[in-house]
Homo-oligomer: A and B are copies of this chain.
Amino acid sequence: MNTMEAIHNRCSYRGRYKNTSVPREHLTKIMEAGLAAPSGCNKQTTSLIAVDDKEVLKKLHAVIQPPIGETAPAMICVLTRRINAYRDKCYATQDYSAAIENMLLVIVELGYQSCWIEGHITDEDKIGYQMAQILNVSDEYELVAFLPVGVAEDECVRAKKLPFEERAWFNGFGKE
Contacts and interface: CB of A to CB of B under 8 A. Distances in A.
Interface of A: 1-4, 6-8, 10, 12, 24, 27-29, 31-38, 40-42, 44, 46-53, 56, 79, 85-86, 89, 91, 93-95, 97-98, 100-102, 104-106, 108-109, 116, 118-119, 123, 135-138, 141, 159-162, 164, 167-175
B27 A170 contact: yes
Contacts of A164: 28, 31-32, 35
A53 B175 CA distance: 12
Contacts of A31: 164, 168
Nearest to A51: B171
Given A3-B3, A136-B173, A173-B135, A104 B10 contact: no
Nearest to A76: B168
A56 to B, nearest CB: 5
* Copies of this polypeptide in the complex: 2
A174 B119 CA distance: 25
A33 to B, nearest CB: 5
A116 B172 CA distance: 20
A165 to B, nearest CB: 11
A161 B33 contact: no
Contact of A40 (B35, B48, B85, B118): B118
Contacts of A95: 97
Given A8-B36, A38-B116, A100-B98, A49 B161 contact: no
A103 to B, nearest CB: 9
A153 to B, nearest CB: 21
A161 B35 contact: yes
B40 A2 contact: no
